[in-house]
Structure 1
Amino acid sequence: MEIPFLMPLVLSLLLFSNGICQSLAARPPVVNIGSILQLNSTTGGVSEVAIHAALEDINSDPTVLNGTTLNVLMKDASCLDGFLGMVQALQFMETDAIAIIGPQCSTIAHIISFVANELRVPMMSFASDATLSSIQFPFFVRTAPSDLYQMAAVAEVVDYNHWKIVTAVYIDDDYGRNGIAALDDALTAKRCKISYKVGFPANAKNSDLINLLVSVSYMESRVIILHTGAATGLRLFSMANRLNMMGNGYVWIATDWLSAYLDSNSSVPADIIYGMQGVLTLRPHTPNSKMKSNLISKWSSLSKKYNHSDLRLSYYGVYVYDSVWAVAHALDAFFNDGGRISFSNDSRLRDATGGTLHLEAMSIFDMGNKLLEKIRKVNFTGVSGKVQFDASGDLIHPAYDIINVLGNGMRTIGFWSNYSGLLSTVPPEDLYSKPPNTSLANQRLYDVIWPGETSQRPRGWVFPSNAKELKIGVPNRFSFKEFVTKDNVTGSMKGYCIDVFTQALALLPYPVTYKFVPFGRGTENPHYDKLVQMIESNEFDGAIGDIAITMNRTVIADFTQPFIETGLVILSPVKKHITTSWAFLQPFTLEMWCITGVFFLVVGVVVWVLEHRINDEFRGSPRQQMITIFWYGADLHLLTFISCIYVNSVSHC
């Protein structure tokens, strides 16, 4: 009786155990991930140590991948030589790696992103170029904040200090150009602008950099944004110090390359740190945590183990460490969902005649889309904080530390967070639990020690030494010379309008070079419409004079507020009035007296016609009736006459 009942149970157990075996069998013993770095650079060295640190922690914990060992295949790709770095990276893509950590260079990242899309290999890159979007490159996963957010933070600092124009100095590659383009957009949103852009190649000579800095010193703006790499950036600071461009009046804002260099190097030469006193820089914000403290405590032994004992943990290392962990968590979910690792040849790597492109060793990761989906959905707390991607593929809650280089180190003067878009002295993680506060009144930074060891905020601009002389058009009038005219003796322009202009310039805190250019021959009044048109055609930089503000002129030129108020006026000829006791009779002309007499008789006749049949006073002899007519006519006109005299007397007074 029990055997039929036990048979289904045994079969179900067998099927269940077989499913478990198949699930376990789907997990390979070793999974390879790749890494493309420039190992001889500071960033590459820190990233290498961080990758090995993450692999040791992952592989030592059997609960992460359930027995699967994660292995890394590293490739040294040069960032300085774009072509060589591209070839090295393409050669590395021939390996069967299920994910790539890197590359660190935006130039190589652009090339490899196309390959990653074709081979369906997720690329966990910390390249900050904002144009590397998940829309064009769906397999590109940015595991560090984008320059889009960094430049928004820079623009916020510029606006906070009430500067309106900046000078941008950048390395002329994808990283530099696209970063400055993002800065331009962010400044425009704050009603600021880049007044001067100057780029330089990665292999620029010292003489070229000196010429660059000299051209910058001639410009109006004294707020300089430096977006470059560490090697060239340090050279620029050293040269700027020798050119006295690190003193009072200058503002230097370096992007996150400077904080990465200072964080990574255990001993910065004294002459280098001395040459950048007062500089502001940014660092991606990573909150303090026990995980971060543990990684810092064992970093020294790890860096010695992998021959980078002179490097300390920087934010690059933190993001790379979490990138490897993100791959591990995604792989675990990938295997749990039945994912398998297999590769197939790409038929599109052969031409129509059957020949090969010599790239046949590259293989497509068959289930790369599924692994990418798991990576996009990871949600854990890492060393850098919350590791979670938004809909656009960026890490949530990007934030930056605002740092002031001072003495032998750096001092944090505040934070910027995309959560509220404001500067604050409160750490961003303390704000995430509160509603976003977008009030500009809450912006605050600690005091800054600016270049020149001053705490007074620099004005941010000077009048450029190479500025052209302004040409000011001045009407050379024939009449009303009190407003503006040409002195025939000295040849200079004078008048009320000239005095207003010179007094206004005296109030400016900087000099303005100009010259007056007479417009007209002085024998007749010039046509002011033509003068305004010459401003539009850039023949004149401006004009001074009694120029009326009309509708057609405001279309082509801007006017100041009127400094001579005329108001509404009526023009009439001047007539001399004689004041006498009979002045009230002056408005009564002969025509008016005649008309008054006619109306005198008409009114009397009308009254007689209406009254003589019913009123006895209007009857009698013809002589008596004529006297009555004149009497009533005179009575009515007398009242009218008195009224006219009164009105005329009042208006005359």
Structure 2
Amino acid sequence: MQANFLIPLGEKAHVPIVSFSATSPTLASIGSPYFFRAVQNDSTQVHAVAAIFKAFGWRQAVPIYVDDAFGQGIIPSLVDSLQAVDARVPYRSAISPSATDDQIGEELYKLMTMQTRVFIVHVSPDLGPRLFVKAKEVGMMSAGYVWIITDGLTVFLPSFHPSVLRSMQGVLGVKPHVPQTQAVLNFTTRWRRKFQRDHPYGLRAYDATWALAMAVEKAGAATYFSFESDKTKKYMVGVSRNGQNLMSGKKLRIGVPVKPGFREFVSVSTDPETNETTVTGYCMDVFEAVVKTLPYALPFEYVPFAKPNGESNGSYNDLVNQVFLGNLDAVVGDITIIANRSNYVDFTLPYTESGVSMVVPVRPDGSKNAWSFLKPLTWDLWVTTFLFFLFIGFVVWVLEHRISKDFRGPPSHQAGTSLWFSFSTMAFAQRRNRLVDHVGIKQGRIVAAFDEVPYIKLILAKRCSEYMMIDPTYKADGFGFVFPKGSPLVPDISRAILNVTEGDSMTKIEETWIGKNNKCPESSTSPPIGNQLGLNSFWSLFLIAGVAAVSALCIFSVMFVYEHRKLLFPSKDDLHSNPSFWRRVLNLFKTFDEKDLKFHTFRDDRVGNEINLADLNVMTSPSTFSVETTEFPAGSSQKPITPPLDSPSELNESTEPRVGEINNMDSHPNSSVGGVIATADGEIITSRVF
């Protein structure tokens, strides 16, 4: 501030002003011909600070500066120099020159809550000692912190009180380099004894005065002069004993997914006695190996993404979103790198083989056996299926043979039709001309599955004799670690991943969790027991089908007996003799074997006193049958003899009939065919079908 006030005065009075303490880079923009700065500005020392950052590989720093022209002038140059070595400034701490100790402590506590633990201090000699004494009190001068001071404090270190120096143990300072010539040593000895305490810049003033005097003598007062650049270099950079812990700060909260499957990659377990959570797995070992290769310490703690009951708290997208929201510092696990997630977070380089492929079961050698088709089902399931095949065929015959033309004919034809119908229902849709293909996955085994290569490698390591991976492999980005957008840890972790994947440690980790890449043992000639379907898999289906079939059979039997109850229990007024009970039962079975003439399938569509045989809907069946026809002369008064309707069994009793093929029969008004014929007045007369 004094320089800014004196420079305009020197210009008005035409008096040269020589300064050996004005180090602010902003003074260079004034360009006054009467102002001579005999000291390097603060922008020269920021390069030394940046070189230290580059040597240790630090990626973040917080500048602590006095809030005035002296402190603010160095910040632009400092930020630019740090960015040149891939370091950034997440926060700037400005302290007022008149700040109290409480205000300084409040600012230090705020810095303790941040992750960054590298501080660059550029304050006045009055504020510096109070700052470090307070930092010692709050515990910020312990291992895990680094402090770098500029020459604004470094040159005053000999004048500080010993208690202040004890508080500053471990502080790294930078200052201009002065060659150690004999003349300098002699002058320094004299000067230190007398003026070092009160005039720390006396040496520079001495050199500046002699240089100015010599320049005036040689060139004249109107000639401009300047100092040569790059003539001051550091002669020693101290190595901090805490260099490996400079990035410690607060521990990184590493989110970990909780899932039931593929526990070889990520496994979260809790000790029921100590309630201590343990996180293990392939991904954890890779991350820990990567952290060990970093040039600095990176403390972290795993935070399972789970509910209080131990279940997963959401999907992988929800877990990644926690990093975006700031609830987690990173995520480690089998997290796939995809474009949608990269819009919100940053991924490191993948640490697994990338790609998506297909895994299919290996065909066993036993597939060449002629009886291999029996192996998918167990023997008890085959036996049960066969018995149900017979039972369902019997039930269908009972329900259909009296009303369906397809189930009429000789007994062999009826049995064959029933069994064929029962068998065809297992594979074919009835009465449909269009074929519909249905493809499904057999229960208990994988037909084909698409998944990422790391998962497939784990499956093949365990069951290589049963499954195999086939080409093509589709492009994917693999697994990566998740960090917030712009995190300085991403490039460091990515470079460390390359070092780990190219070394032997990655091979050891894969052998531990995935298994050695040994030759797969010979495949078994028979499929695994777990791939066979047994009766236990279908017992409920058989139960439902059996109950339905038995119910239908019982209902039909009750309805049939009720409809023909007169055959079992004839009335007293029946004109016919009352047969024995077994005879009546036999008649009931005979009736059961006959057609149900009242069913619409066998009704004649034409009602009148003339029947056209060509219009009859005659059942086609493999069985051979013929029709007995009773004819009467035209105009004859004789009518056919009709047995009682309640004695259908007598319809089967006849003498030698006159038989003819139905296609050769002539139409006759009073002829009967197919079992029923109707006269003009609706009277029913009879004939028989054989």
TM-score for both structures, normalised by structure 1: 0.44
Radius of gyration: which is bigger? Answer: 2
Q: Counting strand residues as a fraction of each chain, which structure ranks higher? A: 1
